[in-house]
Amino acid sequence: MRKLKPASRWSAEVEVQVQFYDLDPMEIVWHGNYAKYLEIARCALLDKIGYNYPQMKESGYMWPIIEMNLRYVAAATFCQRLLVRADIVEWENALRIDYLISDAETGKRINRATTTQVAVDIASREMCFVSPPVLFEKLGVQAP
């Protein structure tokens, strides 16, 4: 079992239980459904810092995902309880979040993933090459 780094103020962990409708014909979680599990953890993390999608929109920015990488280590199965941990690891030019999905009972790693989001000004539809000050404020760090 991989030892996790200590939880930070920029991390969140949620538990999800694999549902029947998430399975493929081989009776394991279909690979595309892991993106849904990441979204659940990402929203919990964004809620924790007070900057989830409604607050992003209110601040004048949308934050589309521009890159997602997933590495499958083991298959998840029906009724399995999964822990999905999300950690903010980069924020200056993009919002990068690392994820670890593990079995809730054993801690065995199921999946590792990363998403990268960038700020886009809603009014102009232009991508920002530096994260806007509101993100630094929500993270409680000084802007560069």
Structure tokens at 102: 């593990």
Distance CA 42, CA 52 (A): 9
Q: What is the pLDDT of residue 1?
A: 33
What are residue 13's DSSP bridge partners?
85
Distance, first Cα to last Cα, the chain? 37
- Residue 31: which of 76, 87, 64 has the closest Cα? 76
Give the tens place of pLDDT for each residue, 67-103: 999 999 999 999 999 999 999 999 999 999 999 999 9
Structure tokens at 83: 């822990």
For the chain, which residues score pLDDT lower than 50? 1-4, 6
Report whether CATH 3.40.50.2000 matches the domain 11-139.
no
The domain ranges of the chain are 11-139
- Residue 128: which of 68, 70, 56 has the closest Cα? 56
Q: What is the pLDDT of residue 144?
A: 80
User: Model's pTM, two decimal places?
Assistant: 0.92
From residue 81, alpha-carbon distances to 8, 17, 43, 50 in Å are 23, 4, 19, 27
